[in-house]
Amino acid sequence: MLHNQTILITGGTGSFGHTFLPMTLAKYQPKKIIVLSRDEMKQWEMAKLYPNEPRIRFFIGDVRDKDRLYRALDGVDYVVHAAATKIVPTAEYNPFECVKTNINGAMNLIDACIDKGVKRVVALSTDKASSPVNLYGATKLASDKLFVAANAYSGEHGTRFAVVRYGNVMGSRGSVIPFFLSLKDQGTLPVTDERMTRFMISLEQGVELVWHAFEDMAGGEIYVKKIPSMKVTELAHAIAPTAQLEMVGIRPGEKLHEQMIGAEDAHYTYEYAEHFKILPAINNWHNSPERIKDGRKVAENFVYASDNNPEWMSQDTLRQWLQANQHKIGRI
């Protein structure tokens, strides 16, 4: 599907973009990948990784700027929307800025993609968008709703939109793994609550889920990857087995357990071998055979949360992952 196509990724200099580019170049041989972001230094550093790769183009811009999006999307076939204000405490203390990027930016991108004739758009979401308790999650829930509804808004233009939702991205900048690694030699690790659990997904799994969404989507689906959970205390012990754990209390906007599918969405959710799909409630699309395909409807009271997950990551599995990925943890 992506072979010889032009792809644009918003927020493309982030952790996801650093993994999406080499994997997609190798697998699909696209015509061009345009990296749209607002940080010129990150673009400069990323460009140095691809000195002889003519298929990668860098474009300074911000999803808040609709005119710039229209220019960036000239000739683009597929879009991955990864731009976001995502750090929970930052969003709590800077709510207006978070809304401008995560909600207004989504609206700008939807309009621009429809008007410029983009074929398909996949937006990245988060477990924090399911029954949100913080501003970041609330803005991403609103963004998810916008991208789902955009399929009706698009009408006969033909642009199709879908969403992928996943949990804690292992080793990404600003996440718990590089934070704990930076403190492991001090003998004490701060843990918010000994009961806390999180979903765990690798960047490579995230990229593969985006690929699947592009291939599978009819429009309006929210794809939820089946991934393991881990207790934060177990994660801490895997990184620093001899460290003392200091309970510091939950930060503003945090949950004890993350959730990717709530009971409210169960009526519209179908299960597949490696993922779930939440189908759109609007226009009776949740009964659409082209969206359901071979899915099995989940139980009426189904909830997919990090504490009731049937799959758990062990300390040994995490240590193996840390060993294999130590060169890039927290650096991309």
Cα(299)–Cα(116) distance, integer angstroms = 40
| Residue 54 DSSP SS3 | coil
Tell me which H or E stretch contains 162. strand 160-166
Known catalytic membership, residue 145: no
| Residue 259 DSSP SS3 | strand
Cα(83)–Cα(260) distance, integer angstroms = 20
Cα(171)–Cα(8) distance, integer angstroms = 24
Cα(81)–Cα(57) distance, integer angstroms = 16
Cα(109)–Cα(11) distance, integer angstroms = 12
Radius of gyration of the chain (CA): 19
Tell me which H or E stretch contains 246. strand 244-247
DSSP state at residue 102: I
Q: How far is CA 95 from CA 85, 105, 297, in A?
A: 10, 14, 37
Which of the following is catalytic: 42, 116, 128, 277?
Answer: 128
Residues 6+ apart with CB under 8 A from 202: 169, 170, 171, 321, 325
Of 15, 53, 4, 60, nearest in space to 35 by CA: 60
168-169, strands of its sheet edge to edge: 168-169, 197-201, 229-231
Cα(305)–Cα(194) distance, integer angstroms = 17
Residues known to be catalytic:
128
